[in-house]
């Protein structure tokens, strides 16, 4: 009611997005336009997420050759080993990547506030709201995704407990530095310690995965199945080898949607750990150097040619408004609806076609390019948020942990849903949630605060003041309380049903409704607190 009353009596906002003539429009129409622009930015984030996931998939598939000598025959063979550890890949590339919209938004907000002794509330509000969206609505979706009666449990409970501990500690730590240690201010050391704890999370999780003595929990490591992604989920795929062996997993069917990405095929042993032949005989010394050099030149030329072909195909796909599957539809209205939707997405698809193909430098070029595009969209999102707050008078913090948190957390929802659908266990679906929440604090809030505190310390010798520390601390308490209720239900399901996800449909939907109720409690109470009602 406070926000509505403020909106009704709000004077003309002199800020504008493109043209000064926007200020001549009514507040209601401007609000509609800016929310529409915000929603379109979220569509852009969803579109670039597909390319980001494909690039991440290629990065994680990177293997190295290890020469192994057979002790009985003395014959040397080459074995392909994955460079990335599964646990580290989940915490770094996957969790960091899916949280990057929020992280870049918070970082941009911090840079915009350089020189201001008070931190902006847009970044922290978005990240805390994103944590609530990750924990409650995403769990609510994942628990009902498995088929009726199908149960999916966490196989490596030790790693999950470590990730869960650091996720909970992240929010306890944030409350301590906001209310206990140095109330309402953040010092340079507090910001630095926040960022460094991300390294401790990585080390502890890796130690638990490898079962290092004295550091890891004494829990038996669950055996991951040989087919981490079940055969029926991967049966429609084949390995299209490009250049020197770095591949893109594409559907066999000509009608399949090439934008659908199985990001968790990074856990498939058959497709990733041993691409192509698992072992290769080491060439003998009698092979001519001239022949080797010739083969290398041919491979390089072939790779360059394939890169150009793939890049050209990206632009062709971006301009294609109707797929072959859509052309076969008899319903004209449905076809028109699909074409209209593709027209809406066309500007984003054409822009993101400039992202280089995924097989360059093991996918790193496409990975970094995708993050740059995400940062650009995040900047536009901050501009729209400022305009909405200016026009309506709604506290930016409320917009941050509701609209911004939900929109920027969409990649997390997509990632966990895919994992819950296609993987035989619940490890990555739930790990993505807990790891993303840890990344939100240690990196998403820690890095922006480190930037601001370092600048203030050098320029003014002053710490960073938190303008809405009381509201942020209250949201942390509500989130912590409701998250305990969420984890308690997951533990109860593990003890009674034997799995965290799936099960009888009635119980799955009841669990889903309970998780959504917890999210509504967080949003309502936090909004009322920020608005000054409670």
* Residues comprising the chain, all counted: 534
Report pLDDT for 143: 93
Give the Å distances, CA to CA, from 513 to 74, 122, 230, 429, 524. 62, 29, 28, 19, 16
CB-based contact 60:261 (threshold 8 Å): no
The arithmetic mean of pLDDT across residues 517-528, rounded, is 91
When comparing pLDDT for 322 and 14, which is higher? 14
Quickly state the pLDDT bin for 325 (edges 50, 70, 90): low
Rounded Cα distance between 448 and 186, Å, is 11
* Rounded to 5°, angle at Cα 338 from 337 and 344: 90
Rounded Cα distance between 233 and 458, Å, is 54
241 membership: H or E segment, kind and range: strand 237-242
Checking if the pLDDT of 227 tops 60, the result is no
CB-based contact 99:436 (threshold 8 Å): yes
When comparing pLDDT for 115 and 169, which is higher? 169
Report pLDDT for 323: 66
CB-based contact 346:321 (threshold 8 Å): yes
Q: Residue 457's Cα: distance from chain center in Å?
A: 32
For residue range 128-139, list pLDDT tens digits in order. Answer: 888 899 889 999
Rounded Cα distance between 232 and 343, Å, is 33
Report pLDDT for 253: 32
Checking if the pLDDT of 259 tops 70, the result is no
The arithmetic mean of pLDDT across residues 501-508, rounded, is 91
Rounded Cα distance between 7 and 35, Å, is 15
Residues near 417 by beta carbon (within 8 Å), at least 6 away in sequence: 138, 141, 142, 145, 429
Sign of CA dihedral 235, 241, 247, 253: negative
Go through 192-218 and write b for each residue having 16 or more CB atoms within 10 A of its CB, e for each that does not.
ebbbebbeebbebbbbbbeeeeeebee
Cβ-in-10-Å burial (0-12, 13-18, 19+) of 65 comes to: exposed
Checking if the pLDDT of 290 tops 80, the result is no
Report pLDDT for 222: 63
When comparing pLDDT for 447 and 316, which is higher? 447
When comparing pLDDT for 229 and 32, which is higher? 32
What average pLDDT does the chain have? 77
Report pLDDT for 242: 32
Checking if the pLDDT of 289 tops 70, the result is no
Nearest to 154 by CA among 351, 425, 424: 425
Percent of the chain with pLDDT over 70: 80
Cβ-in-10-Å burial (0-12, 13-18, 19+) of 224 comes to: middle
Supply φ then ψ for residue 247, to 5 degrees.
Answer: -120, 165
* Domain 23-219+304-531 architecture: Up-down Bundle (1.20)
Q: What residue segments make up the domains of the chain, in order of their start?
A: 23-219+304-531
Q: Residue 433's Cα: distance from chain center in Å?
A: 9
Report pLDDT for 303: 57
Give the Å distances, CA to CA, from 121 to 77, 112, 124, 439. 57, 12, 6, 18
Checking if the pLDDT of 160 tops 80, the result is yes
Strands 118-119 and 464-466 come out as: parallel
The arithmetic mean of pLDDT across residues 478-489, rounded, is 92
Checking if the pLDDT of 398 tops 50, the result is yes
Neighbours of 367 (CB within 10 A): 24
Checking if the pLDDT of 238 tops 50, the result is no
Quickly state the pLDDT bin for 194 (edges 50, 70, 90): very high
Can you give the pTM of this predicted structure?
0.74
Quickly state the pLDDT bin for 486 (edges 50, 70, 90): very high
Quickly state the pLDDT bin for 305 (edges 50, 70, 90): low
Rounded Cα distance between 19 and 284, Å, is 70
Instruction: Of 57-71, 286-300, 334-348, give the lowest mean pLDDT range.
Output: 286-300
Percent of the chain with pLDDT over 90: 17
Report pLDDT for 223: 59
The arithmetic mean of pLDDT across residues 24-41, rounded, is 89
Checking if the pLDDT of 82 tops 80, the result is no
Report pLDDT for 460: 87
The arithmetic mean of pLDDT across residues 115-119, rounded, is 80
Go through 21-58 and write b for each residue having 16 or more CB atoms within 10 A of its CB, e for each that does not.
ebeeeebeebbebbbebbebbbbbbbbbbbbbbbbbbb
The arithmetic mean of pLDDT across residues 424-447, rounded, is 84
Give the N- to C-terminal CA distance of the chain in Å, as an integer.
13
Q: Helices (DSSP H) in 61-148: which residue ranges?
A: 86-89, 95-98, 100-112, 122-135, 137-144
Checking if the pLDDT of 281 tops 70, the result is no
DSSP string, 133-187: HHHTHHHHHHHH-SPTT-EE--S-HHHHHHHHHHHHHHHHHHHIIIIIISTTEE-
Instruction: Of 150-154, 337-341, 510-514, give the lowest mean pLDDT range.
Output: 337-341
**CA max distance for the chain:** 87
The arithmetic mean of pLDDT across residues 480-494, rounded, is 92
Report pLDDT for 2: 47
CB-based contact 222:155 (threshold 8 Å): yes
Q: Residue 320's Cα: distance from chain center in Å?
A: 27
When comparing pLDDT for 328 and 312, which is higher? 312
């Amino acid at each position: 009611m406070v926000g509505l009353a403020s909106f009704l009596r709000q004077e003309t906002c002199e800020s504008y997005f493109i043209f000064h003539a926007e200020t001549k429009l009514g507040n209601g129409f401007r609000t509609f336009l800016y929310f529409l622009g915000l929603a379109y930015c979220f569509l852009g984030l969803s579109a670039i997420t597909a390319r980001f996931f494909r690039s991440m998939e290629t990065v994680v598939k990177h293997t190295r050759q290890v020469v192994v000598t057979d002790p009985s025959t003395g014959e040397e063979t080459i074995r392909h080993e994955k460079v990335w550890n599964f646990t580290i890949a989940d915490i770094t590339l996957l969790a960091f990547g899916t949280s990057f919209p929020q992280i870049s938004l918070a970082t941009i907000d911090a840079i915009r506030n350089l020189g201001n002794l008070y931190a902006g509330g847009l970044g922290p509000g978005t990240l805390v709201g994103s944590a609530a969206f990750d924990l409650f609505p995403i769990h609510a979706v994942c628990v009902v995704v498995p088929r009726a009666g199908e149960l999916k449990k966490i196989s490596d409970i030790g790693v999950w407990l470590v990730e869960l501990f650091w996720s909970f500690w992240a929010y306890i730590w944030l409350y301590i530095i906001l209310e206990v240690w140095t109330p309402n201010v953040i010092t340079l050391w507090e910001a630095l310690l926040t960022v460094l704890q991300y390294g401790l999370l990585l080390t502890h999780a890796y130690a638990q995965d490898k079962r290092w003595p004295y550091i890891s929990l004494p829990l038996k490591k669950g055996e991951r199945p040989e087919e981490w992604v079940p055969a029926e989920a991967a049966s429609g795929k084949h390995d299209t080898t490009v250049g020197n062996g770095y591949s893109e997993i594409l559907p066999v069917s000509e009608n399949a949607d090439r934008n659908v990405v199985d990001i968790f095929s990074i856990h498939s042993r058959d497709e990733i750990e041993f691409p192509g032949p698992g072992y290769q005989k080491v060439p003998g010394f009698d092979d001519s150097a001239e022949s080797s050099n010739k083969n290398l030149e041919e491979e390089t030329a072939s790779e360059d040619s394939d890169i150009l072909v793939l890049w050209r195909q990206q632009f062709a796909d971006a301009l294609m408004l109707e797929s072959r599957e859509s052309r076969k539809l008899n319903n004209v209205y449905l076809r028109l609806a699909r074409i209209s939707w593709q027209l809406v997405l066309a500007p984003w698809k054409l822009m993101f076609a400039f992202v280089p193909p995924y097989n360059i430098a093991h996918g790193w070029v496409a990975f970094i390019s995708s993050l740059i595009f995400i940062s650009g969209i995040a900047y536009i999102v901050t501009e729209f948020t400022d305009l909405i707050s200016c026009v309506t008078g709604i506290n930016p913090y409320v917009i941050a942990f509701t609209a911004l948190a939900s929109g920027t957390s969409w990649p997390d929802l997509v990632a966990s849903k895919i994992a819950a659908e296609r993987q035989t266990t619940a490890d990555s679906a739930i790990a993505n949630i807990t790891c993303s929440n840890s990344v939100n604090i240690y990196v998403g809030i820690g890095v922006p605060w480190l930037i601001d505190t370092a600048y203030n310390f050098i320029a003014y010798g002053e710490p960073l003041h938190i303008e809405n520390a009381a509201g942020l601390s209250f949201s942390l308490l509500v989130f912590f309380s409701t998250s305990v209720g969420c984890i308690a239900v997951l533990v109860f399901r593990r003890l009674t049903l034997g799995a965290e996800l799936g099960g009888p449909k009635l119980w799955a939907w009841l669990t889903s409704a309970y998780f959504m109720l917890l999210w509504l409690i967080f949003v309502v109470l936090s909004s009322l607190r920020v608005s000054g009602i409670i």
